[in-house]
Amino acid sequence: MPDSSSDSSQQNNGQQQQSQQRQRQRQHQERTVKPNIEEEDICPDPRLATAAAAAAALNRSSSAVASRTSDNAVASYQRLIKHYRVEVAASASSVLSTLTTFPLDSVKTRMQTYRYAGFLDCVKRTYQTEHFRGFFRGVTAPMASITLVRTVSFSIYQRSKYVYCDWVKRNFGYDVMAHVTRSGSYPNLWSVATFGAAGATAGCCITAIACPFELTKLSAQVSVLLADKKNCPKPESHAIAASYQNKGTFKTLRNIVKHRGLGGLYTGFRLHLMRDTLGTATYFMTYESSKQLLTTFGGHGTHSNPLAVLVAGGLCGIVSWALIYPVDSAKSIYQRNSLMYSKGQKVEPVKIHFFSRNMYRGLGVSMGRSCAVNAVFFSSFEFLKKRIKSWDDK
């Protein structure tokens, strides 16, 4: 008869083995059906990986589009500047040249309209009565007007020059521009006439813009002298003359309109038109011709000699002012006189007397100022224009 305790022990061992086997089967099924947490961390859902890849591709695409957009904006800006390089260079150069030489312009206007013992006397008396600020009275008007006028003037001149050159070539078979740009060439009748006609066209067109600003500038420059009773020929005109003192550019404009109406902004227009037409024609004619001569003598190609540009710029200012100075003096005196009268009151005309000493007061100052202004202006103008044009080569 078997031992009951031995049978019980064998039965318990069998149950334990079956229990362990069932546990191992459950663990195997769990690993097969559901991955553990560590495996999920290592191998994420494929859909998440796809979304992450799409997001990365979108970011790269957005960065590429932004870069192309930025490059296109810069390229468009450069094309715009290059297309209007004459206007951009003229504007920047005008600001520079006007600021550096305005005190000489102020002294020139004072010497034209009032009597001084000379240049140094004018400077001394201006500084004593108005201090350093007196030399920059009215600078706002020319800063705006000269920049605008020169920009428009150079734009009109450049276009007129090529129009007239094309006209000469069509009708007379002579290529002016080819002659001017040829190394070792000299000015001739065709080139001088073409540049002069283009300059006259530009000068005629800019008068309508320049006249109100120049009248405002003159008023500011001589406002203190106008307010002095001894400078007023009639006692009743003193109140009007004194109303222009210590006013800014826009207040001066309003004051002119108040006393003389809107038409008063164009006081002295005919004298101004004569001055600008003759002066601008001489200005460009002298600049182009003298630059051509100096470049030929220097042995360099046209437009490549900075010294020729500097000298030609100074020379064109001297020659043009020497020609038109009596006209400019008559204009300044007439405009000065008109500031002492209201609308409807007659202002005596001022005759132009060439070779009369009174008409040339301040000529030396004006020529020195013009030489400095145009030397600075043309040097800066040609430099900036070349730099902007060189963008094509990058």
268: CB partners within 8 A, 6+ apart: 211, 215, 331, 334, 335, 338
Q: Specify the pLDDT at position 343.
A: 82
Count Cα atoms within 13 angstroms, Cβ side, for 34: 5
- Asked if 268 and 215 count as a contact pair (C-beta separation under 8 A), the reply is yes
Give which of 89, 292, 326, 86 is closest to 195, Cα–Cα: 292
Domains, the chain, ranges and CATH? 107-384 (1.50.40.10)
CA atoms of 63 and 24, how far apart (whole Å): 55
Return the DSSP state at 236: G
Q: Specify the pLDDT at position 21.
A: 65
Q: Specify the pLDDT at position 37.
A: 42
CA atoms of 54 and 43, how far apart (whole Å): 18
Helix residue ranges, H only, 34-139 = 37-42, 46-83, 85-113, 119-130
Q: For the chain, how many helices (H) and strands (E)?
A: 14, 0
98: CB partners within 8 A, 6+ apart: 139, 142, 143, 146, 147, 373
Written as tens digits, the pLDDT of the chain (394 aa) is 444 444 545 555 556 666 666 666 665 555 554 444 444 444 455 555 565 666 666 666 655 555 566 666 666 767 777 777 777 888 888 888 888 778 888 888 788 778 788 888 888 888 888 888 788 776 776 677 778 888 888 889 989 999 999 999 999 999 999 998 888 889 999 999 999 999 999 999 999 888 888 888 888 777 777 767 666 767 667 777 777 776 767 788 888 888 888 888 898 899 999 999 999 999 999 999 998 888 888 765 545 577 788 888 889 989 998 899 999 999 988 988 888 888 878 888 888 888 888 888 888 888 888 888 888 888 888 888 888 877 755 4
Count Cα atoms within 13 angstroms, Cβ side, for 385: 21
Strand ranges in 252-355 using DSSP code E only, listed in sequence order: none
Q: The whole model's pTM is what?
A: 0.68
